[in-house]
Structure 1
């Protein structure tokens, strides 16, 4: 008796769509959300049991309607810090919703993340999945665009009819439309006509900044009306009759595979940005107008008018909601604190502990045979050809591998690593993207969460910086969701000096990725290692940065015979190039050839170790060698200060201090960008001669 069919109001120009909603359930959710906000503000925040409190009063009604319509098993959504009523409408456990802001054990992060930063894996596919929310404004947009693209890929390329009608929804406030993430996602989804619903809650403010400071004229949606392939719907987000009709129209539009839709609903923010925000930047008249637009009294009046509930039953429902939340708060207070002994778990994938959502492992994907023993055949290949050949084989044998980036399609990449792959595998598997690194990595997140293996390319190392937020959020995803989500991918990044250097195309700075939580980092020095490391990364359950050194791509020393389609090199296994007992030299990337050549030329007992991967790095191999030689020289291209050599030196000092016969030495680039003039570059880089001299000096100490 609590369901009612509404006709679209005649005052609007909306499509006439019947709407069946369980109004009693909607009221229950809304009252529970309000009760939780009140109890947090009046009890839990003052008691310092909750530290980050974001009320959704005013936003709540429309959010709950939207969540009630996301019933497809392959629907997915991204929210933000004010999306809690929406999350509740998806079916998340109420006790977890209450307890997570209190940072107790369990919940959706086990105390690792801010409580309002929710996630909902919904592993039984009973409706929409909620991506792990991000703390950064606008970071939610491009990942869900990747999910929208994956819907089309699963449906059309993998021929999975279960994806028919699925949609991707991104939630955001009006001010989030100013971010690069919003524009990246808008370009992705409109260019490809993807099933993406941009759901915008317009309360007129970004914290304290009004819309007039965000966009010309103070109306971003009006400025988007000329945007191609974007259907725009807008209206009131507080009216019990109009709001459901608007939301239903938008959802139906996207489900019908017509393309992207932006739904902007005007809603009041009946609170400060956070509980601590006094809103002194709003006039009393403005606040009074907001209060008059509160959707809760409107909902109550509507349900009474439609005879969906009596006044007494409404009062009983309010009381029951408060009691329900208070009981949940009591249970939350009784929960244990997170166990400190588990604090470092799930930075990386653990054997037998596969994440609930994301990556090939979560879908039990099976790979062809592999071996750590090379089976070299044919002529020596340069590293560029070896990378291309490996990508070719993995694309051929795994339909879930997708390669993309700027110029990787018909052009074959600015370095030629993907030459011919677009023609062979088609535009849905090897394709170009817009010039947006934020969008390239962001869409990779959504693809990975859908069970694909994205292989995005960042054209040069320096250009990864616009994607820094997405890269960071990807790396910490497994840890901050307590292994509920992970987004394995392989990000190919060429970098380092080539025939010339410069500050823009020749940056190395690999230490940043070694420091990024959750990322693996491979830096092959030759074609054989490139094959083994890349194949391992493409089959692994962790996100990986695969650094392709520009100087080595066609360098004669780096050429090797192709080691076979089964060859893999597990990460964290260094390679010893020369043996000796007088000095250990640790190096990687383009410095390996120079160190090996200098050691062979001197022939005085020098052991050269190529780390091959920096995260993880083979600490045991280095410690064993230095324990034998009692001396260590570390050579790398990156700047000296806080370069990865400092990590190795610190480890040796901590664990082998009394075994050392000489100070640990580092030979690196000075703390400058890569210079363009060839003579300046040669002077900045560790040359073979300088390496040889450093070896001799250290042995002589």
Structure 2
């Protein structure tokens, strides 16, 4: 039962518990700074000294099973308050087994599945990247409560912790936009210590106070105060938490706290004047807590005894943590992708108990041919109809139906909660998708053009490594639809291909269909899968006659990593994908060469077995792709074939690609640099004649 007033809450606070947690955190910092870091038992150390009181008082109020906190690198006091075992807290920065990541990530990069209580979403090492996933979680809370009609989500909130430096980031502003426009149950919890490493708050936000700057924001309640005074801090946090729990809208609380150490252990704070350091030490919340409790609630002797007890516990636990085994080296490559035997604790359809419907790799016979746009639209419609956990969103996907019409009428049929427009922030689109995926939904996000994904790179890369970084505790399966490539003309902004970029993003799968049938099968597999997927839709193929195929049915799926032979031949192997399939087929036909032509269909993973089997028979290989040459995906295929099949080759593996330039706008210029029928035919003849 929620305490009605802040005064009542203060009376219910277990101040002895607050003191124990705070002293434990402080002694933990002391142990690391004075012993473990100098002894090189801890290699990265970020002190929470000065931030503890506010975090502990916040943690005591996160008591809803579906609450989530999105933390940052000074959040260990919060983690301890929410139930993180002290030994795990110490083992993590030592890089020992267990802990947050089983030694895979920096010790302060935290997470907590929270099986029966609040979840701490996996943080990343990037400043500001914690904001948009937490906004996605908040939107998911509303979706579970309203659309899925699950009363268990009533009153749950999402809290985002950040320092004053983080308020300058794209993630912060994107999350503020989502929170205020959608009236999401989010509390922005800003711990303002006056510095971003060595840079003062006045460089982060005008006037050095984000609370003042946001007071005119519509639909955002502002709380601002001192985070070092026990009763005042408890009261202010209680007010802000209860405001958001009551579904009155999002709120931001800014608490001033001292940073009593440098940014990290290596930071000697030479940029601070001595009087500033002295002033901060006088503002230590631990001293103020002691003054608040002693002697009115406990005696000085009891305080000293508690402090000694906490110090002894930290010392003993540090020894236990150090004696843990190092992580198993043979497991370090596990959990890049989903594991059929071990489902992650948080995130995705499988962890939410969703069973995949009946599927078939055999297409149904339907006479009418459809284009890729219609294939995508029908697949989205079908999955939205049978799976209430699917949500589709992006810029212009709602009433407009998408800039390429792939979501036409889906909002009208399935409603605004399930098919919705977003603000113009790719960082926000992908970060939101991560939070939605954590909650057990299947987000299908659209990025309008490949080039527009660049601002979302941080969230995309972090999303792919979530499973590995948390040792399979968390995952964020999603689908990101992304049109690109040339069309009626080219240009550097809408026509970029650059699929190789995503093939190098750890943890992502990458689909690149060349026709409507494959688009249906791969998109459906992606939407039912347990890994994040980039689904590349080539602009020139969206309505191309060559890409039109009959709709293969609502149960049709294609597995990732399974290519397709477009035609069989004996003279050479041609490996290609996307828009180059049509041009390659035409070139092989004109040249009269018996070519084994393979459409990879997916690049992560790619069908190495099919390619190798073909090359072993033909002894020659040509790779054709639209992306630029240097370090394009063709280079990976070429290197693999040369390394593994050198003795089978009668000629060097050849690549035909774009030159290393952006796509030009002028049609003649565009065609002059793209692999075309004539260039492919020449490359075939040259390889045969070698």
Counterpart of 1:406?
395
Q: Distance between the aligned counterparts of 2:263 and 2:594, measured in 1? A: 66
2:227/2:256 contact within 8 Å kept = yes
Q: 1:622 aligns with which of 608, 611, 625?
A: 611
1:141 is the counterpart of 2:131:
yes
Which secondary structure state, in structure 2, belongs to the residue aligned with residue 636 of structure 1?
strand
Counterpart of 1:699?
688
Which secondary structure state, in structure 2, belongs to the residue aligned with residue 360 of structure 1?
helix
Q: Distance between the aligned counterparts of 2:216 and 2:253, measured in 1? A: 15
* Residue 6 to residue 559, structure 1, CA distance change in 2 (3 Å): closer
Counterpart of 1:32?
24
Deviation for aligned residue 1:225: 0.9
Deviation for aligned residue 1:217: 2.1
Q: Distance between the aligned counterparts of 1:537 and 1:114, measured in 2? A: 31
Q: 2:82 aligns with which of 86, 90, 108?
A: 90
Matches within 5 A, 1:372-391: 372-391=361-380
1:664 is the counterpart of 2:645:
no
Deviation for aligned residue 1:599: 1.7
Counterpart of 2:145?
155
Counterpart of 2:424?
435
Q: CA deviation digits over 1:138-170, x for unaligned, max 9?
A: 000000000000000000000000000000000
Matches within 5 A, 1:155-174: 155-174=145-164
Unaligned 5+ residue runs, structure 2?
Answer: none
Counterpart of 1:677?
666
Which secondary structure state, in structure 2, belongs to the residue aligned with residue 511 of structure 1?
helix
1:255 is the counterpart of 2:245:
yes
1:281 is the counterpart of 2:255:
no
Q: CA deviation digits over 1:45-74, x for unaligned, max 9?
A: 001111111111110011001011101000
2:97/2:324 contact within 8 Å kept = yes
* Residue 534 to residue 559, structure 1, CA distance change in 2 (3 Å): same
Q: Distance between the aligned counterparts of 1:604 and 1:676, measured in 2? A: 33
1:454 is the counterpart of 2:443:
yes
Q: 2:261 aligns with which of 271, 296, 304?
A: 271
1:19/1:248 contact within 8 Å kept = no
1:579/1:606 contact within 8 Å kept = yes
Q: CA deviation digits over 1:197-243, x for unaligned, max 9?
A: 00000111111101112222222221111111000001110111100
Q: 2:33 aligns with which of 9, 27, 41?
A: 41
Q: Distance between the aligned counterparts of 1:538 and 1:607, measured in 2? A: 31
Counterpart of 1:69?
61
Query: Comparing 537-546 with 327-336, which one deviates more in the overlay?
Result: 327-336
* Residue 6 to residue 392, structure 1, CA distance change in 2 (3 Å): closer
Counterpart of 1:424?
413
Q: Distance between the aligned counterparts of 2:258 and 2:114, measured in 1? A: 30
* Residue 242 to residue 555, structure 1, CA distance change in 2 (3 Å): same
Q: CA deviation digits over 1:300-330, x for unaligned, max 9?
A: 12122432x2221111111110111111111
Q: 2:464 aligns with which of 463, 475, 487?
A: 475
Matches within 5 A, 1:52-451: 52-123=44-115, 125=116, 127-307=117-297, 309-451=298-440
Q: Distance between the aligned counterparts of 2:485 and 2:5, measured in 1? A: 63
Query: Comparing 127-136 with 528-537, which one deviates more in the overlay?
Result: 127-136
Which secondary structure state, in structure 1, belongs to the residue aligned with residue 126 of structure 2?
coil
Q: Distance between the aligned counterparts of 2:75 and 2:4, measured in 1? A: 26
Deviation for aligned residue 1:494: 0.4
Q: CA deviation digits over 1:13-39, x for unaligned, max 9?
A: xxx866521111111111110111001
Q: 1:643 aligns with which of 595, 612, 632?
A: 632
The alignment's TM-score, normalised by the length of structure 2, stands at 0.98
Q: Aligned pair count?
A: 688
Deviation for aligned residue 1:452: 0.4
1:6/1:241 contact within 8 Å kept = no
Deviation for aligned residue 1:332: 1.1
1:522 is the counterpart of 2:511:
yes
Which secondary structure state, in structure 1, belongs to the residue aligned with residue 138 of structure 2?
helix
* Residue 690 to residue 196, structure 1, CA distance change in 2 (3 Å): same
Q: CA deviation digits over 1:414-469, x for unaligned, max 9?
A: 00000000111111100100000000000101000000000010010001000000
Q: 1:554 aligns with which of 543, 560, 563?
A: 543
Q: CA deviation digits over 1:489-544, x for unaligned, max 9?
A: 00000000011000000000000000000000000000000000000000000000
Deviation for aligned residue 1:367: 2.5
Deviation for aligned residue 1:281: 1.1
Which secondary structure state, in structure 2, belongs to the residue aligned with residue 403 of structure 1?
strand
Unaligned 5+ residue runs, structure 1?
Answer: 10-15
Deviation for aligned residue 1:378: 3.6
Counterpart of 1:12?
none
Q: Distance between the aligned counterparts of 1:19 and 1:437, measured in 2? A: 45
* Residue 6 to residue 521, structure 1, CA distance change in 2 (3 Å): closer
1:8/1:242 contact within 8 Å kept = no
1:6/1:19 contact within 8 Å kept = no
Deviation for aligned residue 1:376: 2.7
Q: CA deviation digits over 1:355-396, x for unaligned, max 9?
A: 010000111201221111111314000000000000000000
Query: Comparing 93-102 with 296-305, which one deviates more in the overlay?
Result: 296-305
1:387/1:534 contact within 8 Å kept = yes
* Residue 8 to residue 541, structure 1, CA distance change in 2 (3 Å): closer
1:8/1:241 contact within 8 Å kept = no
Q: Distance between the aligned counterparts of 2:491 and 2:359, measured in 1? A: 39
Q: 1:654 aligns with which of 622, 640, 643?
A: 643
Counterpart of 1:13?
none
Q: Distance between the aligned counterparts of 1:584 and 1:231, measured in 2? A: 64
Counterpart of 1:465?
454
Which secondary structure state, in structure 2, belongs to the residue aligned with residue 241 of structure 1?
helix
Which secondary structure state, in structure 1, belongs to the residue aligned with residue 348 of structure 2?
coil
Q: Distance between the aligned counterparts of 1:655 and 1:538, measured in 2? A: 34
Q: Distance between the aligned counterparts of 2:37 and 2:442, measured in 1? A: 42
Deviation for aligned residue 1:8: 5.3
Q: Distance between the aligned counterparts of 2:581 and 2:34, measured in 1? A: 62
Q: Distance between the aligned counterparts of 1:624 and 1:20, measured in 2? A: 71
Which secondary structure state, in structure 1, belongs to the residue aligned with residue 682 of structure 2?
helix
Q: Distance between the aligned counterparts of 2:569 and 2:9, measured in 1? A: 79
Q: Distance between the aligned counterparts of 1:219 and 1:248, measured in 2? A: 21
Counterpart of 1:613?
602
Matches within 5 A, 1:505-544: 505-544=494-533
Q: Distance between the aligned counterparts of 2:78 and 2:579, measured in 1? A: 51
Q: CA deviation digits over 1:454-491, x for unaligned, max 9?
A: 00100100010000000000000000110000000000
2:477/2:532 contact within 8 Å kept = yes
Runs of 4+ in 1 over 6 A off after TM superposition: none
